[in-house]
Structure 1
Amino acid sequence: MIDLSMSPAEKRTIKGLAASIEASAQEKRAGTPLGPGFSASEQYVSNTGDYAFVLPGPNDLRGPSPGLNVMANYGYIPRNGVASITQSIQGTYNDMIKLGPDL
């Protein structure tokens, strides 16, 4: 049988540790700047014009990655599904989600 009772001294020690951990967590949270959040107008992803949805053709390749398949269907990478590393990076970070090359 396990004895789960604690002495008052043990309870005070645990309470002190919990308070110390909470204070440390609050300091870390206060020192962490939050990003600007989501802005639909600034982070707009076009699905018209060059980026309109087109079903894959019989000779187009699609794989197990839903993200890459969506990018090919919407023209952010070549619609045939075959993209170089450079095209994938360009399509993802610059064209689709608008991240700069400094990241």
Structure 2
Amino acid sequence: YRTQRLRCLETSNFALSETPEVLGSITSEWENPLPRMTSWAVFASATGEEQKITVFNTHLDYRSAKARELGARLICDRISHLNLTQSYLFLTGDFNA
């Protein structure tokens, strides 16, 4: 991103598993053989405008429909717990749909 136009206010990652705080974790019941994760960040204008932009990016499993569904549910749950009243939201990635 262009640091002259945006400044990063917050960033984080979480695993797509039953233990999302443990990066690299895999939940065998999800039927995904590889660890998957989501990265997200909150940006604001470098010029001082109050509007924020929140971006989530992920790569869902390509083999397991169950892992894709559970991963998508986890992402939606995480998004719902953020205060996004003053923010645009973008969810991007390879969803293997």
TM, length-normalised to structure 1: 0.25
Structure with more helix by fraction: 1
Instruction: Return the index of the structure with the highest Cα Rg.
Output: 1
More strand by share: 2
The one of the two structures with greater contact order (alpha-carbon pairs below 8 A, sep at least 6) is 2
Q: Taking structure 2 as the reference length, what is the TM-score of the superposition?
A: 0.26
